[in-house]
A and B are shown apart, each in its own frame.
Chain A
Amino acid sequence: SQKIEQNSEALNIQEGKTATLTCNYTNYSPAYLQWYRQDPGRGPVFLLLIRENEKEKRKERLKVTFDTTLKQSLFHITASQPADSATYLCALEGSSYKLIFGSGTRLLVRP
């Protein structure tokens, strides 16, 4: 069956360190993969999209990698700040125009 898996346990790191979040998927062949940020009580906000022919994408302190062989994407936040604390969702395109989301990983950055 098709699955998107993100670590359900919160990731707790010290300010200034690099946070790395993982998204694994099975039985999908997505043309692209996206990452969203969700704060409590708010809707998800789009952060980055990476296509299947791209290995890596960067935006300011954010970096995403996409390994279609491993069926995995890694999302990195360098020089993390307490303001980066949120839940991060990965999403990929399923069949028929549907965007399929993982359950998200909560990131806590301690000052």
Chain B
Amino acid sequence: DTAVSQTPKYLVTQMGNDKSIKCEQNLGHDTMYWYKQDSKKFLKIMFSYNNKELIINETVPNRFSPKSPDKAHLNLHINSLELGDSAVYFCASSQDLTRRNTQYFGPGTRLTVL
């Protein structure tokens, strides 16, 4: 009964490929997030959705496109992968925007671009 799950756990791919990471939460939360953690361990927000509506869209290349088919799912699609995209990507959720202060994170997806 994992609260926030992500697939795959590891993703190794060649430059130029397109890949997707899936995220699901079973907490009944309204708000979901994507974060990127680089090699220096900085955790930086990329996107946030509230009830399927895009709320935060950080300065992220438009090769990254989030999709929220329903409020329990937030997927991340990446086109034309580059070496600099290698990082760990975390999905997270919070109850709603007014209670965004407590976030529940998934286990992360380690993306390696060769």
Contacts and interface: CB of A to CB of B under 8 A. Distances in A.
B105 A103 contact: no
Interface string B17-46: 000000000000000000000001111110
Nearest to A49: B101
Nearest to B108: A43
For chain B, the bracket of interface size reads 20 to 34
Contacts of A93: 100-101
B106 interface: yes
Interface residues of A, number: 20
A32 B101 contact: yes
Interface string A95-110: 0111111011000000
B102 interface: yes
Interface in B59-114: 90, 92, 97, 100-108
Contact of A43 (B4, B44, B58): B4
Given A43-B107, A45-B105, A98 B56 contact: yes
Nearest to B91: A43
A46 B90 contact: no
Interface of B: 4, 40-45, 48, 55-56, 58, 90, 92, 97, 100-108
